[in-house]
Structure 1
Amino acid sequence: MSSTYLPPTLGESVHEVFYPDVQTTVNLFAIHLRSVGTDWDYPTHEHPQYELNYVTEGEQRMMVNGTLYIQKAGELLLIPPGSIHSSQSHNGKGFTYFCMHFDIDDQLFLSLLARIKQVRFSADSPVTQQIEPVLRKLMSSADDETANTMVQRMQLQSTVFELFGHLWEAVSQEAAQWFTDGHEKIELAHQIRNRLQGLMSQQFKQGHESNGHYGIDDIAAELGISSSHCNRVFKEVFGQSPRAVLSQLVLHEAKLLLGNPKLSVQNIAVMLGYKDIAHFSRQFKRWSGMSPSRYRQEQPALE
């Protein structure tokens, strides 16, 4: 496990800009582009990942949790994990579709996706319009017979992250319709999210001691809103409180730091803004179920 970035001593930098950390893991399963005949009938099944299904030619009959969707060319299905679904040809004709299953560890992204109850998106919907060019890019990569396996894997990962970026933007636009003040609330929630990550990159990593509010009050003050409004808007959009999300960020950072044997637990506690090692150890155990020292000892077995 690689060590995390260690910033320079305070006062050394003349100018710096922190970009958002990338801490997302994406797992992709059963990506395929398939043409089927008139008698296509895929039996009822379910899986623990999201399924993204896009028809390029013809029409597909897809039953999802008891609801029948006639999916035409250019239309998209976003099937949530655990959904019972099956697929058949429609009107005695074959069709072509692109399908991928994905699992992503970005809890805010998942919470936003989970609140989208719509399964079928028409060809002219904002979600389909936003990601259709990237889907075409993914499909065209399958025709490149000159690329070696490693190049294809890297290109696939790059394109998939591009896809998720567009999907995040499109789903955020859809989510704006849930609220009376629409886009403004979504935008404010995103600003809070960005500042939470900035709090990790700048405040904690620079060795400042964290206060009882984990910096949420400061974020609210910077945005010109009350702490209660900050918490309410963020939870309404993402389904989690800012403090819970910040705790996830701190835990992730702590695990990375514990993977560096050159850093003592005491040093890590200071880097993460804790006043003493006991406070850090209690928090880490509450989050992960084990002490920092035990987590570090068990890493070889976990990897």
Structure 2
Amino acid sequence: MASAFLPPELGQNISEIIIPDVKTTLNLFGMHLRTVSGAWSYPIHAHPQYEFNYVLDGEQRIIVNSRSYTQRAGDLVLLRPGDSHSSQSGNGRPFTYFCIHFDIDDKILISLLSRLHHVLFKADSTIAHKLTPSLTRLVDISRQIHGDITMSQRMMLQSAVFELFGQLWEAFSVEANLQASASYEKVELAHQIRSRLQGLVYQQFKQDAQEDRTLGVDDIAAELGISSSHCYRVFRQVFGLSPREFLSRQMLHEAKVLLDDPRLPVSHISTILGYRDIAHFSRQFKRWHGKSPREYREGGSL
């Protein structure tokens, strides 16, 4: 099939830069700029998108995966899909914040975000300083929207978000130590491994996972036609942790989500997750979290 982009005849080029094709899908959800009273609060919830939460004025207390953070003007919070979080005024006074939920199909960027373990970036941090101009632009555009959004405003928002991602990449890539050799082919393979690992979560809940178990990684490697060592190596290079560690984090998250619902007895949660008895579930949860399910629940979500 002939190319629609024909190069000039041999010898006619003086200089040339070839830009690789760029195909990226960006979805923005629930973007809002909000000022709330000191009595305002938002209950514990989670969602399947990433979230940026940026405080413009005042103080917000945000609890993420049972850990409390104080977010002041200029501070930025990054939440990952599935993070359990709630928020309220940090000092009983009104505050203003900007929030944006997003997902994007750029696997390199998603891999970078998945390697970061930070939640709160203080206003005086290098990262917050780097991202502030793009966040300010997003806020300024949002202030101009009254009623239905225009096409021009839609395009400006998307442009500002992509600019934010560019700054985010520059700010985060060194910290995350994402190696340049992590090609798109390796990233694609790592995401295939990750998808199959997520399918093992409930299966692993039903087993007494011992320290020397492969946790199904050998089967995944065989299914993908690669060696187990290559499977481990590619996954760690892209996501910064081993498949075993990823599985443990996923399983711990599922257990915490259920334990955060006070209506569910621990015995019932044990049954939901497929354990043969509550003692078995308690041992496994303590191995992951350092506390028993009852200790976790009694400690609250603070």
Q: Same fold (TM over 0.5)?
A: yes
Q: Which residue of structure 2 aligns with residue 170 of structure 1?
A: 171
Letter in 2 for 1:47: H
In structure 1, list runs of 5 or more residues that go unmatched: 177-185, 197-230, 241-303
Alpha-carbon distance in structure 2 between the residues aligned to 1:4 and 1:58:
60
Alpha-carbon distance in structure 1 between the residues aligned to 2:72 and 2:94:
12
Alpha-carbon distance in structure 1 between the residues aligned to 2:17 and 2:181:
16
Q: Which residue of structure 2 aligns with residue 42 of structure 1?
A: 42
Say which SS state the counterpart of residue 142 (structure 1) adopts: helix
Q: Percent identity between the aligned chains? A: 47
The runs of 4+ residues in structure 1 deviating greater than 4 Å are 9-13, 145-148, 191-196, 231-237
8 Å CA contact 1:112, 1:237 repeated in 2: no
8 Å CA contact 1:20, 1:194 repeated in 2: no
Following TM superposition, by how much is the alpha carbon of 1:238 offset from its aligned partner in structure 2, in angstroms?
2.7
8 Å CA contact 2:36, 2:94 repeated in 1: yes
Following TM superposition, by how much is the alpha carbon of 1:132 offset from its aligned partner in structure 2, in angstroms?
0.6
Following TM superposition, by how much is the alpha carbon of 1:173 offset from its aligned partner in structure 2, in angstroms?
2.4
Q: Give CA deviations for 1:142-174 in whole Å, capped at 9, x if unaligned.
A: 233699701101111111110110011111122
* Change in CA separation of 1:34 and 1:77 when aligned onto 2, cut-off 3 Å: same
Following TM superposition, by how much is the alpha carbon of 1:23 offset from its aligned partner in structure 2, in angstroms?
1.1
Alpha-carbon distance in structure 2 between the residues aligned to 1:148 and 1:82:
29
8 Å CA contact 1:76, 1:128 repeated in 2: yes
Alpha-carbon distance in structure 2 between the residues aligned to 1:50 and 1:158:
18
Aligned length: 195
Task: Write out aligned runs for 1:113-262 (5 A).
Answer: 113-144=113-144, 149-176=150-177, 186=178, 189-190=179-180, 193=183, 237-239=237-239
Task: Write out aligned runs for 1:2-21 (5 A).
Answer: 6-8=4-6, 12=10, 14=13, 15-21=15-21
Alpha-carbon distance in structure 1 between the residues aligned to 2:110 and 2:184:
17
Alpha-carbon distance in structure 1 between the residues aligned to 2:17 and 2:115:
33
* Change in CA separation of 1:173 and 1:20 when aligned onto 2, cut-off 3 Å: same
Say which SS state the counterpart of residue 180 (structure 2) adopts: helix
Alpha-carbon distance in structure 1 between the residues aligned to 2:134 and 2:183:
26
Q: Which residue of structure 1 aligns with residue 291 of structure 2?
A: none
TM-score by length of 1: 0.57
Following TM superposition, by how much is the alpha carbon of 1:11 offset from its aligned partner in structure 2, in angstroms?
5.8
In structure 2, list runs of 5 or more residues that go unmatched: 187-230, 241-302
8 Å CA contact 2:35, 2:95 repeated in 1: yes
TM-score by length of 2: 0.57
Q: Which residue of structure 2 aligns with residue 265 of structure 1?
A: none
Q: Which residue of structure 2 aligns with residue 22 of structure 1?
A: 22
8 Å CA contact 1:61, 1:88 repeated in 2: yes
Say which SS state the counterpart of residue 131 (structure 2) adopts: helix
* Change in CA separation of 1:148 and 1:50 when aligned onto 2, cut-off 3 Å: closer
